[in-house]
Amino acid sequence: MTGYTDLSAFGHDPWWLILLKALAIFVFLMLTATAMVYLERKIMARMQMRIGPNRVGPRGMLQSIADGVKLALKEDIVPRAVDRPIYILAPVIAAAPAFMAFAVIPFGPEVSILGTRTPLQLTDLHVAVLYVLAVASVGVYGIVLAGWSSGSTYPLLGGLRSTAQVISYEIAMGLSFAAVFLDSGTMATSGIVAAQEGNWYVFLLLPSFLIYLTSMVGETNRAPFDLPEAEGELVGGFHTEYSSLKFAMFMLAEYVNMVTVSALATTLFLGGWRAPWPLNMWSGANSGWWPLLWFVAKVWIFMFVFVWLRATLPRLRYDQFMKLGWKVLIPASLLWVMVVATVRELSETVDQFRVTTAVVGVVAVAVAATSLLWVLLRRRSVRPESAPPPGPFDPMAGGFPVPPLPGQTPPGRRRALVPATARAETPDHDTQEGSNAAAH
């Protein structure tokens, strides 16, 4: 199958243009992260019937800047038990890879900048997608080192959780890319965008898109997969002992990572900077600076999904989260890659391969959705009276210690707990007998 790799447009820019592109990417990421902090709070407030920020600036628009200034002016407290060099370096390690990954993301086609023709992309590689995965893997070292160097129990547990989480979900994420590589014949991001000129991979490779959509939420530690910093279990997780600008760098890394995975999803599955239908019917939609607008709009669609999930879904238990990654996403990714490879081998033309893959993908998603719905309906149809009678209360049933419910007797207690009001209204038997004897 013919690949779409053509990197002849890269490597010829003058030094000032490379510097200008790098600065533009940095400014774009910083502005997007700042706007995302404000919009996330406003959108979540709207979904949860609250007001959200409305004091600083018109409609609270300057709240993100006020939060940044507040963090910068706060005292930078360094606990005595920390490993100081690693403790200081960890936020930098977490934030820097998030910016580095954007070096291979295409924003648009070739344009003219100050009389020089250049693509709207800093650079590209034959293995650009693998470069993004590698850089994203380095970012987790910042979280792990932050938890380990803090010299505290809860940050250490948060760092260990993040390690297992990233390893688990990066496997499923990498496998979801394999189907894209098989169809496009390249790992270069510009080549993958060129391969989606007629059809986007969100339609041709629907199972890969759904697997990536789930994996990218786990990869960025966002709700409902924000277990490395679960405040209900780990106080604040890996950044518990951080304050001031070091804490702000962890927050910046989280939001920039959201932009990075959203841009990668746009590039691999939504046609990159190509205009959506029906705008693509206009001849100038995919030329000039217009594609930059389509790219940013697609990225913000994924950013909205992040907010939507956080405002809607409760946090998963950690064993449920790991079970989803290892027992559902990874096997499904492996099976889908085998199906795509088989269809490609049996197909005689590119069009036949794409049509067959799209049909098989839609059928696979429909079967999976139907199976999940059947399981949920079957669980609801089980009547309570058909369940076996409850036995003695076991606080360790299921492997997690839980307190007793009202009416349950914990082991080692002779009788169920009685409310204090009931004990006050009903005098003890021995006390009653003593009162009668005194009266006689």
Hey, where are the domains in the chain?
76-277+285-379
- Asked which of 70-84, 157-171, 388-402 is least confident by mean pLDDT, the reply is 388-402
pLDDT in tens, 265-290: 999 999 999 999 888 888 888 888 99
Task: Evaluate if residue 330 carries a pLDDT over 90.
Answer: yes
The mean predicted confidence, pLDDT, of the chain is 85
- Tracing tokens 């997690």 back to the chain, one arrives at 400
pLDDT at 383: 54
Neighbours of 40 (CB within 10 A): 20
pLDDT at 432: 46
pLDDT at 202: 93
pLDDT in tens, 136-160: 888 888 888 998 898 888 888 888 8
pLDDT bin (cut points 50, 70, 90) of residue 431 is very low
pLDDT at 389: 52
**Which position has the higher pLDDT, 343 or 421?**
343
Q: Please list the residues that pair with 108 across neighbouring strands.
A: 120
Q: Are strands 116-120 and 108-113 parallel, antiparallel or unpaired?
A: antiparallel
Average pLDDT for residues 20-37, to the nearest whole number?
94
Average pLDDT for residues 239-250, to the nearest whole number?
88
Average pLDDT for residues 149-175, to the nearest whole number?
86
pLDDT in tens, 125-139: 999 999 998 898 888
Average pLDDT for residues 172-196, to the nearest whole number?
91
